[in-house]
Amino acid sequence: MVLDPQGVAVENSLIALGYKNVHKVRVGKYIELILTAENREDAAIQVEEMARRLLSNPVIEDFSCTLQEAGV
């Protein structure tokens, strides 16, 4: 796992605030997007492909996706 400089800064700050139980902080990205799909499976396939190709860099990042049905 690569060093996360932002996570270290936040971790140090939390510890300075007195949260002595904190051992590891990692800062990531949260990307929200709306898309049209035939069904959940189709949506998952589309999103995972986007995550693999552009939204994440596999050399330094991992990703996970969650789906939620939007109102029509």
2 binds other proteins (CB under 8 A): yes
60 binds other proteins (CB under 8 A): yes
Question: Which residues fall within 8 angstroms of residue 50, CB to CB, at 6 or more apart?
Answer: 33
55 binds other proteins (CB under 8 A): yes
Cβ proximity of 25 and 11 under 8 Å: yes
- Give the interface segment with other proteins, choosing from 2-10, 15-23, 35-43, 44-52 (CB under 8 A): 2-10
62 binds other proteins (CB under 8 A): no
Taking alpha carbons only, the member of 67, 63, 69, 66 closest to residue 29 is 63
